[in-house]
Amino acid sequence: MNLLLSVEGVRVNYRTERGEITAVRNVSFYVDKGDILGIVGESGSGKSTLAYSVLNYIKPPGKIISGSVKLEGVGDLLKLGKEDVRKVLWKEIAIVPQATQNSMNPTMDVKDHFIDTMAAHGQNDKQKILETANRLLEEVKLDPQIVLSAYPHQLSGGMKQRVLIALSLVFEPKLLILDEPTSALDVVNQRLIMDLLKALHQKMGISIIFITHDIQLIKGFANKVLILYAGKAMELGDVNEVWNTPLNPYTIALLKSIPTLHGDVNSVSGIPGSMPDPYAEITGCPFASRCKFAKPVCFEKDPDFLEYKPGHFSACHFSKDIGDNYG
Amino acid sequence: MDELQEVGIQAKTSLLYFDNVSVHFEIKGMDKPLIAVDGVSFSMNDGELAALVGESGSGKSTLGRVVVGLQKPTSGKALFRGKDIYKLKGKAFLEYRRSVQLVHQDPYAALNPALTIYESLAPALRRWNIVDKKDTRKAVSSMLEFVGLRPENYIDKYPNQLSGGERQRICVARALSVRPKLVVADEPVTMIDVSLRLSIVDLLLNSKKQFGTSYIFITHDMALARYFLLKGGGGKLMVMENGKLVEMGDVEEVINNPKHEYTKKLIESVTE
Amino acid sequence: MKYGYILRRIAILVATLYTVITITFILVRLSPYDPYAYFLSQEASMGIASPSQLAALAEYYYNLIPNQPIYIQYFQYLISVMEGNFGHSLIYPQMTVANIIATRLPWTLYIVITSTVISFFIGTYAGQRLGYKRGGKVDGSIVTFFTVLHSIPIYGMGLILLFFISLKAGLLPSAGAYSANVAPGPNLPFIISVIRHSILPISTFIFGSVGGWTLGMRANTISVLGEDYVNAAELRGIPTSRIASRYVGRNAILPQFTSLVISIGFAFGGAVFVEQIFTYPGIGQMLVTSVGDGDYPVIMGITIIIIAAVLISVLVADLTYQFLDPRVRK
Amino acid sequence: MNSQDKGVEKKSGQKSQNPSSFTVFWRNKYARIGLIITVGFFVMGFIGPLVYPAPKIDLTEIFAPPSLAHPLGTDYLGRDTLGDIIYGTGYILEVTFIAALIGTGIGVAIGIASGYFRGAVGSLLMAITDIVLTIPGMILILVVASVVRSGNPLIVAGVLSVTAWAGFARAIRSQILSLRSSIFVEEARLLNLSSFHIIFKELMPNVMSYTAINFIFSVQGALFASVGLYFLGVLPFSAYNWGVMLSEATSFGGFLAPSLAVYLISPIAVITLFTVGLIYLSFGIDEVFNPRTRRR
């Protein structure tokens, strides 16, 4: 089997003073070996929460209500105890968190970060650790001589991001999750990181989940894409297929809101309205109020996430019609 | 004034006239100054649109700051209606100060977190006597309406109760409230959700249509710059690299027939 | 370490000391209350008529010669203070102020340093534990307990301990630094007596300051627990115990060291009350006695020395901090 | 985790009503207790003397235990302890609040001036602040008080403020320094709003919560210090004074009297209660002013 990770019906709620809000609504997706899956969503879409629930790492007031996350060779991560999850973290799945500017201990140098991380999983041979660190830092185009003894505040944002990517590879995990790895960086560093990741993926064959708000970053990088809206999975499929023949009105509207270099400027436009109030009870489809295809049924019944073409899923009552018209 | 004679008639009639403007930053511990803007020349007329495109670090934000009066150039001439921006005094300075405004990239930092939307918008109206004191609230309301926000839902809110897109609309309203002639929009939608970006760009273009506001639209995104200019009825695209303007011309012309290597590179890097 | 930073700290120390010396001079000589003029008139009224005798007395006690222009008096005073000459006590004319300070300062240092160290460690430990248990029922009542403890003024704490432990229960001595019936020196009975006499003053200090340390460390711990690098470490699978010590503990303690600097000044202020309550022969008690007696040469000398001691401890703490936090090191 | 719930948080409360500041304040349990205690002390200080009889010397009732006539017993002259406390409250409130006003006022003024106006004036103000900051306050207060020797509330408050402002001025300065280079201040400059507007309308609201909390802690500091000075006998004796009560508890042979415990503990207890009230009050103020909590 080629299947590496399968996520079924994950639901995450947050308890706030004003009541419960649902951050992730019964999301399902899967990752094959060697995949680069892009998870795309705007602010409030629950994309980070989804990534952390894959690691069974949701802190109160958040709570995983239901679902399963099965990793090949490990089983359902959501059923594991805290200590068992700890052993899986970084060895099997590594995550580079979003706020990398502050993701390193300010009182530890880079070398200590490598030593601590590898010692946590039983690797105590300092010589070996340093060898690994040297090799990986070179891999991400950093000079180990300088970087290993540097403290986080002495590194630029782009350098910190690369250190963390190097750190995430120490055990060559099966799956690497990157949460908005470029959003805090300028364009130059963004491109550098993307090229780096592409090279690492080719060289190590590592599977990647790439979370971003910028759908344009996905094109030409990922092979599969999952599109989230208000905590709900709207569409999942091969990147080119989703791009060329989207099955979901939200995807269509999202792609239409991106200007191009040669097309007619009047054929693109933003999506009117805004994300639904997280505190409001949503009946029906969360996108219905902004959707130009919306019919009465959309406000009454939440559409299921169904496979319309092989490997191409969508959550919309009219995906079939859309598919017929577009295709 | 001999300054005017030197630069000729175009300088006098232009809204904005930059001649060989450079900005150098002295950095401690470095022997050479950092050249942020390097000999830039261009001009803008009333009601004209321009887009300034380049990667981060190309100096486009610094150039924008020279235009709005926040960064004195090291050398060169930066003229507003024929007069040196950094030598303006008295009434002429006030006229300039009101005529040129900035919309900043980060709508989270551009609003005072301790003030309500009304408290953020009203002082400028009062400062410039744009409306009578008793009409201030009404005027703020109509500005909110102009930027597509229902006044009763927003006027007494604090910024932290609003989303990024809503905040940026407020910032646009504030910049437009003093009825400027020229607005420098520095990456105004970079921090906004993709699906909301174009509606904010359209908002800027609305004010061009209604009041004839000129814009310098700064962005790293070539396709977005094109959208802005074409949707607004055309304008010039300026491409900046390492502090220099490497290419400038009508937007369609530059995109379809780029002359400079760097422009070609930028165009190629756009995924479609 | 930053060279300029050390120089700046030392410059501030010198400037502060100079300011304090000047303030004491102004208070004694230029304020509307002018105790020095009062002293001269008292001496004159007691029959010492000869101006030269009066001048000799004035110099003996105050380091100031009357009838000189004020700026000459000021420079004389500055120079003698820098020479370590603080004049003589008005109450014990045979004692130099420097002498009095030398016999009393060690007792104060002993009490202040011991209690600050103990209180710092207890509070820091308890605060970290509480930080981890934040939000729970236990946390709430313990925080209330420490808030109340923190709200008792140090003299209130001292009086309560003196009254209940010493006077009512008779468990520990109520006054002095050691019993009259032991011979001072490196012998066991003396050491035991010194310790017994210091337990209550030291406890007063600890009870008075441990609440602040605990609440401070609790707040630091909670804020560090919310930092991204703690989450990032958890995500790397680093064991909880290691995170608690190297990630949370280390970073939460750093601000405590900054507070240590401020607390040193507070501790010397507190010594005034604690030594007065337990009639402990330290410099604070001497200061209060001198204030009561109007013994201005002693007041001036003690003030300058206490503040110098505080300044030096602050400098040491400050420079130590430079080694602990890599962010300020380079 | 920060990044996790950012999206959820950003929009929360969007359609909520703005609860009034007092509602937010009153919802906090600690704030409620703190406010009740503080108001209680004001009532005791200013209304108490109107309804409670003034303590009178009664040599037949020396160190009487608590009773109906004397709820907290009596002192070495047979005066009612509760009366002593009540009649002493007004003076304490006066001294501590004036001291906090002076200290906070100087602190805000110097902090803002040295943060906003850079250059020679700012540097000089900061150098002075740094010097005052390292002087241990209590010692200097003691020495100044010993020379001044006045019980006038204004003068005592002035003495207590000698060093109290410095730490606060420094904190305000660093906040102003970061605020003045913030983008929203730059925007105000672009709209040509005056320095007056920027200082009082843009910057001040951002340091208000810190100022209010500092005011409360200054009241507490002045409370400890002023009572302490009277306890040490540095300030002149006066009737109805908590510090004098403490001082008298230790002298006049009172330590041997069996009912001394109540007499000794009473002033300590009111000081502690007042301080707890102030600390709790500060929790509530933090909640009202802090934009992160205000949203909820």
The complex scores an ipTM of: 0.81
Q: Does D66 touch chain C (CB under 8 A)?
A: no
Contact A259 B196 (CB under 8 A): no
Ordered DSSP codes for C173-216 = --SSSS-TTS-SSS-HHHHHHHHHHHHHHHHHHHHHHHHHHHHH
Cα separation, D7 vs A98, whole angstroms: 13
Contact D201 B106 (CB under 8 A): no
The shortest C-alpha distance from A93 to chain C (Å) reads: 9
- How many domains, in total, are found in chain A? 2
Between D127, D136, D233, which is nearest C269 by CB?
D136
> Between β-strands B75-80 and B83-84, what pairing exists: parallel, antiparallel or unpaired?
antiparallel
Cα separation, D282 vs C204, whole angstroms: 26
Q: Does A77 share its domain with A218?
A: yes
**Nearest alpha-carbon partner for D207 in D235, D182, D232:** D182
Contact D41, D277 (CB under 8 A): yes
Between B104, B127, B157, which is nearest D192 by CB?
B127
Q: Does A246 share its domain with A133?
A: no
The boundaries of the domain holding residue A31 are: 3-92+173-269+305-325
Contact call for B and C: 3+ CB–CB distances under 8 Å: no
Cα separation, D90 vs D87, whole angstroms: 7
pLDDT digits (tens, 9 = 90+) for A76-95: 999 988 888 888 888 899 99
Cβ within 8 Å of C, D 75-114: none
Q: What angle do CA A171, A10, A251 make, to 5 degrees?
A: 95
Quick one: pLDDT band at residue C322, thresholds 50, 70, 90?
Answer: confident
Contact B227 A187 (CB under 8 A): no
CB contacts, 8 Å: A254 with chain B? 194-195
CB contacts, 8 Å: B119 with chain D? 201
Per-residue pLDDT at B216: 96
Cα separation, D79 vs D58, whole angstroms: 6
Mean pLDDT, rounded, for A135-159: 90
D109 CA to centre of own chain: 18
Which amino acid, one-letter code, is at B239?
V
Q: Does C183 touch chain A (CB under 8 A)?
A: no
Q: Encoding tokens for residue D257?
A: 């009297």
Quick one: pLDDT band at residue A97, thresholds 50, 70, 90?
Answer: confident
The shortest C-alpha distance from B208 to chain A (Å) reads: 17
Domains of chain D: 26-50+72-293 (1.10.3720.10)
Share of chain D above pLDDT 70, in %: 88
Contact D1 A59 (CB under 8 A): yes
Q: Which of A172, A191, A211 finishes a domain?
A: A172
The shortest C-alpha distance from A1 to chain D (Å) reads: 32
Domain assignments of chain C as residue spans, ordered by start: 3-82, 98-328
Per-residue pLDDT at D146: 80
Size of interface A-C (CB pairs under 8 A): 71
CA atoms within 13 A on the CB side of C201: 36
Neighbours of A301 (CB within 10 A): 12
Size of interface C-D (CB pairs under 8 A): 136
**Nearest residue in C to D135, CA atom:** C307
Average confidence score pLDDT of chain A? 89
Per-residue pLDDT at D239: 77
CB contacts, 8 Å: D4 with chain A? 48-49, 52, 58-59, 62
Alpha helices in B86-236 (DSSP H): 90-99, 117-127, 136-146, 151-154, 164-177, 194-211, 222-231
Quick one: pLDDT band at residue D256, thresholds 50, 70, 90?
Answer: low
Max CA separation in chain A (angstroms):
66
**Nearest alpha-carbon partner for B148 in B108, B214, B199:** B199
Contact A179 D3 (CB under 8 A): yes
Report the CATH number at residue B251: 3.40.50.300
Cα separation, D237 vs D217, whole angstroms: 26
3-state secondary structure of C136: coil
**Nearest residue in C to D222, CA atom:** C153
Q: Does C226 touch chain A (CB under 8 A)?
A: no
**Nearest residue in A to C326, CA atom:** A107
CB contacts, 8 Å: C231 with chain A? 59, 97
**Nearest residue in B to D7, CA atom:** B163
Identify the top-confidence range among A109-113, C131-135, D142-146: A109-113
Q: Encoding tokens for residue C257?
A: 């060291």
* b/e per residue D158-190 (b: at least 16 CB within 10 A): bbbbbbbbbbbbbbbbebbeebbebbbbbbbbb
What percent helix, strand, coil does chain D show, rounded to 5? 75, 0, 25
- How many domains, in total, are found in chain B? 1
Contact call for B and A: 3+ CB–CB distances under 8 Å: yes
> Residue C317: what are its φ and ψ, rounded to 5°?
-60, -40
Mean pLDDT, rounded, for C67-80: 83
Q: Does A236 share its domain with A317?
A: yes
Contact D193 B110 (CB under 8 A): no
Mean pLDDT, rounded, for A124-136: 93
The boundaries of the domain holding residue B41 are: 3-271
Contact A213 B197 (CB under 8 A): no
Cα separation, D242 vs D224, whole angstroms: 11
Between C234, C247, C330, which is nearest A105 by CB?
C247
Q: Does B271 touch chain A (CB under 8 A)?
A: yes
pLDDT at C83 over 60: yes
* b/e per residue A134-163 (b: at least 16 CB within 10 A): bebbebbebebeebbebbbebbeebbbbbb
Q: Does A277 touch chain D (CB under 8 A)?
A: yes
- Expressed in angstroms, the distance from the first to the final Cα of chain C is 6
Q: Does C168 touch chain A (CB under 8 A)?
A: no
Say whether the peptide bond before residue A61 is cis (omega within 30 degrees of 0).
Answer: yes
Mean pLDDT, rounded, for D212-237: 89
The shortest C-alpha distance from A265 to chain B (Å) reads: 6
**Nearest residue in B to A43, CA atom:** B193
Average confidence score pLDDT of chain D? 81
Contact B161 D295 (CB under 8 A): yes
Contact B161 D182 (CB under 8 A): no
Between B70, B111, B156, which is nearest D184 by CB?
B111
pLDDT at A223 over 90: yes
pLDDT digits (tens, 9 = 90+) for B117-148: 999 999 988 888 888 888 999 999 999 999 98
Q: Encoding tokens for residue D264?
A: 């000794």
Q: Does D19 touch chain B (CB under 8 A)?
A: no
Q: Does A21 share its domain with A162?
A: no
Per-residue pLDDT at C165: 86
Per-residue pLDDT at A326: 61
Contact B106 D193 (CB under 8 A): no
CB contacts, 8 Å: C273 with chain D? 228, 231-232
Contact D187 B174 (CB under 8 A): yes
Share of chain A above pLDDT 90, in %: 57
Q: Encoding tokens for residue C226?
A: 């919310």
**Nearest residue in A to C252, CA atom:** A107
3-state secondary structure of A176: strand
Q: Does D17 touch chain A (CB under 8 A)?
A: no
Strand order in the sheet with B244-250: B100-103, B182-186, B214-219, B49-53, B236-241, B244-250
pLDDT at A195 over 80: yes
What percent helix, strand, coil does chain C show, rounded to 5? 80, 0, 20
Quick one: pLDDT band at residue C108, thresholds 50, 70, 90?
Answer: very high
Cα separation, D25 vs B82, whole angstroms: 56
The shortest C-alpha distance from B250 to chain D (Å) reads: 30
Q: Does D6 touch chain C (CB under 8 A)?
A: no
Neighbours of D200 (CB within 10 A): 12
pLDDT digits (tens, 9 = 90+) for C216-226: 999 899 989 98
Contact call for A and D: 3+ CB–CB distances under 8 Å: yes
pTM of the model: 0.83
Share of chain B above pLDDT 90, in %: 65
Q: Does A117 touch chain C (CB under 8 A)?
A: yes
Mean pLDDT, rounded, for D99-119: 91
Identify the top-confidence range among B1-10, C14-23, D9-18: C14-23
CA atoms within 13 A on the CB side of D243: 24
pLDDT digits (tens, 9 = 90+) for B141-182: 999 999 989 998 899 988 888 888 899 999 999 999 999 999
Q: Does A66 share its domain with A195?
A: yes
CB contacts, 8 Å: D167 with chain C? 262
Cα separation, B138 vs B184, whole angstroms: 27
Indicate whether A47 belongs to any domain. Answer: yes
Per CATH, the homologous superfamily of domain C98-328 is MetI-like (1.10.3720.10)
Per-residue pLDDT at D16: 43
